[in-house]
Amino acid sequence: MKNKAISKSRRSVLLAGAALMSTPKLLTAATSGYGIEGKIAPEFEISEWIDGEGKPGSFTLAEQRGKFVLLECWQAWCPGCHSHGFPTLQKVYAAFKESDYFIAVGVQTTFEGYASNTPDKMREMQKRYSLPIAMGFDAGDQVNGAHPSTMINYRTGGTPWVVLISPEGRVLYNDFGVDGDSAVAYLSSEIAKIS
């Protein structure tokens, strides 16, 4: 039954088109019991980060105030991450990579497949998708079955999971994926208001 709910959620997001980002409340994860829309985005509890060049780095939401933050949660072995998660992230990143009011970040939230979803996959995905963005590795506890802190704090439903955070640090949208064209249109309009 959980898979049916996830499939229904993904279909809803993909079918929403332009309405999705212009009215984020219409199709939010809150309707499925996931997400923290409307709340202040929790700071990441991740110690393993790489910068856009694959070198050890760091990333905090506090340093991003004044910018829209697009967070993509992924796993290396996740088919949906490769079929639409990363391609959508590429599209949105490409549209705003020069903007002072936008930043994209990826977090590998490993909650299964620990042997495949390893820290080295961060750099592999950066290269594969030409995404020079900060990426973090957040693994749960395989022995005790605990989920990664990002999944817990953001109440994600799995991967690919997208979170859009406002310049003030509030979660505007969170769900399985987002339509890339709609996200670009929404962000273009919102960034124009503050730039």
- Report CA torsion sign: 170, 189, 135, 161: positive
Pairing of the two strands 48-50 and 56-57? antiparallel
31-49 residue pLDDT tens: 568 999 999 999 999 999 9
Distance CA 6, CA 176 (A): 8
DSSP 146: B
User: Number of structural domains, the chain?
Assistant: 1
pLDDT at 55 exceeding the cut of 70: yes
pLDDT at 7 exceeding the cut of 50: no
pLDDT at 1 exceeding the cut of 90: no
| CATH number for the domain harbouring residue 92 | 3.40.30.10
80-128 residue pLDDT tens: 999 999 999 999 999 999 999 999 999 999 999 999 999 999 999 999 9
Which pLDDT score, from 0 to 100, does residue 73 have? Answer: 98
135-187 residue pLDDT tens: 999 999 988 889 999 999 999 999 999 999 999 999 999 999 899 999 999 99
In the structure, what pLDDT confidence band is assigned to residue 12 with cuts at 50, 70 and 90? very low
Cis amide prior to 160 (ω within 30 degrees): yes
Domain of residue 11 covers 2-194
